[in-house]
Amino acid sequence: MSSIEFNSLLVGNRDFLKGFALGFTRDLQDAEDLIQDTMVKALRYKNNFKEGTNIKGWLYTIMRNIFINNYKRKKFQNTIVDTTDNQFFINSSTQMQADTVTTVINEQDIRDSIDGLKDEFRVPFNMFVEGYHYDEIAEELGIPMGTVKSRIFHARKKLGAQLSEFRS
């Protein structure tokens, strides 16, 4: 399939995607962003599309995965949206409120343990915690995806050993 044919298929299915995007996001602007992200990812991975298969199902799967990954990423960011007229965004992670002194100490110990990791483990681990997918981390750092998975696994293992006293 030529690039022109593939692009025509994408453009022809834009309206189909719009309905699903609105269903996922419940906001027109966010839906447009989701459609655009889906189109970009489809173009990026057009070699994975097999001619004669269901392009609508393929595009829907891409869109759903993007939506889920974005949702997870936003969940980890702990962003609170103020719905007043000015719609200010407040990042709650900088103003942490602890229930007890012990919680503050435990959180600091965890941060110190993460910060104590070598860069090669700490950077991919932090990106993973922030909600990045393995392939996104691999692309950003310019290393193979298997290396990313290995480094995150070893970071977890080291942190688990260092923080074993906090397990219940």
* 8 A C-beta contact, residue 106 and residue 49: no
Nearest CA to 132 out of 80, 70, 88, 85 is that of 70
CATH architecture of 3-91: Orthogonal Bundle (1.10)
Which residues touch 158 (CB under 8 Å, ≥6 apart)?
117, 121
Query: Domain residue spans in the chain?
Result: 3-91, 96-166
Global pTM value: 0.47
Confidence at residue 99, expressed as pLDDT on a 0 to 100 scale: 52
| Helix, strand, or coil (residue 89) | strand
Strand partners, 90: 80
Question: Using 50, 70 and 90 to split pLDDT, how confident is the model at 104?
Answer: low
CA distance linking residue 135 with residue 147, whole number of Å: 11
Indicate if the pLDDT at residue 101 is higher than 60. no
Question: Using 50, 70 and 90 to split pLDDT, how confident is the model at 3?
Answer: confident
Indicate if the pLDDT at residue 167 is higher than 70. no
CA distance linking residue 86 with residue 78, whole number of Å: 20
* Amino acid at position 146, single letter: G
Q: Which two tokens stand for residue 98?
A: 């602890």
Q: Looking at the domain covering 96-166, what would its CATH class be?
A: mainly alpha
Average pLDDT of the segment spanning 113-142: 90
CA distance linking residue 92 with residue 129, whole number of Å: 16
Q: Which two tokens stand for residue 101?
A: 């002194």
Summarize the chain as % helix, strand, coil (round to 5).
75, 5, 25
Confidence at residue 137, expressed as pLDDT on a 0 to 100 scale: 93
Confidence at residue 50, expressed as pLDDT on a 0 to 100 scale: 86
